[in-house]
Amino acid sequence: MKNKLTLIKVGGQIVEERETLQQLLSDFSKINGHKVLVHGGGKIATRIAAQLGIESKLVNGRRITDADMLNVVTMVYGGLVNKQIVAGLQALGVNALGLTGADMNCMRSEKRPVKEIDYGLVGDVKEVDASILADLIAKNIVPVIAPLTHDKKGKLLNTNADTIAAETAKALSNYFDVTLVFCFEKKGVLRDENDENSVIPQITKPLFKQYVADATIQGGMIPKLENAFDALVAGVKQVVISKADEIGKHTGTVIVK
């Protein structure tokens, strides 16, 4: 029987605001058993890029990444945000280790091919070395993974944090009984974005297609849910989309295979 592992992905305003980040780390530290944290930081990257005179361009929630923007996201994701989280967890007694995909070659990607949109220096994950992560986890080390990968040719690539979370969860499902939790500012997937209490408790693939067709689900939530369904097909036991301050309370939207 596999040991349980909880993989939390957090981003948005949660990592941007000191108070909400501290609450998230406190809640995360109380999760029983093995755990992994994957973080974003896009809003901080957008703000710092603006301070440097670099324009941010996003399409359907995905960042267009040129060379200047890659420098910004590397500094923000791999440096500022990652190390703030690691330091915060260490203060709570969690032996955390900050990683990008390049560290220990744990995640390799390839530059996304140009189709309708040229995303620039953005990577699509091709390989996750879960054995290395599993070894760390077995030593009670908690990986904190930034949304950066590498192409094994010396180049870093900006990579969607939801994708990294899903790919990591899928790879670790060979070693653990994995629950993947995407947490953000809302209580779950909402029927009405202006009504915090309109949480959809459960979403199946047919319902997902219906909600996309009628625009109930749109924007960045679409790739988030696509990643969720892919993870379930690949062996992840459960995927939940929930509010960050409700980790472990079994609330939010459960994605059903």
What would the pLDDT profile of 121-137 be if each residue is shown by its tens digit?
999 999 999 999 999 99
pLDDT digits (tens, 9 = 90+) for 102-122: 999 999 999 999 998 999 999
42-71 mean pLDDT: 91
**Confidence band for 232, pLDDT divided at 50, 70 and 90:** very high
Q: Would you call 66 helix, strand, or coil by DSSP?
A: coil
pLDDT digits (tens, 9 = 90+) for 149-190: 999 999 999 999 989 999 999 999 999 999 999 987 788 899
Helices 18-29, 82-91: inter-axial angle, 10-degree rounding: 50
**pTM of the full predicted structure?**
0.92
Structure tokens at 152: 């094994």
36-44 mean pLDDT: 93
Task: List phi, psi (to 5°) of 99.
Answer: -140, 150
**Confidence band for 246, pLDDT divided at 50, 70 and 90:** confident
Residues present in the chain in total: 257
- Please report the pLDDT score of residue 236 as a whole number: 95
DSSP classification of residue 5: E
- Angle value at C-alpha 223, between 114 and 21, nearest 5 degrees: 115
- Please report the pLDDT score of residue 71 as a whole number: 97
Q: In this structure, how many other beta carbons lie within 10 angstroms of the beta carbon of residue 204?
A: 12
Indicate whether 1 pLDDT > 90: no
Q: Which residue has the higher pLDDT, 244 or 166?
A: 166
Q: Among 240, 186, 252, 220, which residue's Cα sits nearest to residue 7?
A: 240
- Please report the pLDDT score of residue 221 as a whole number: 86
Domains and CATH numbers, the chain: 3-184 (3.40.1160.10)
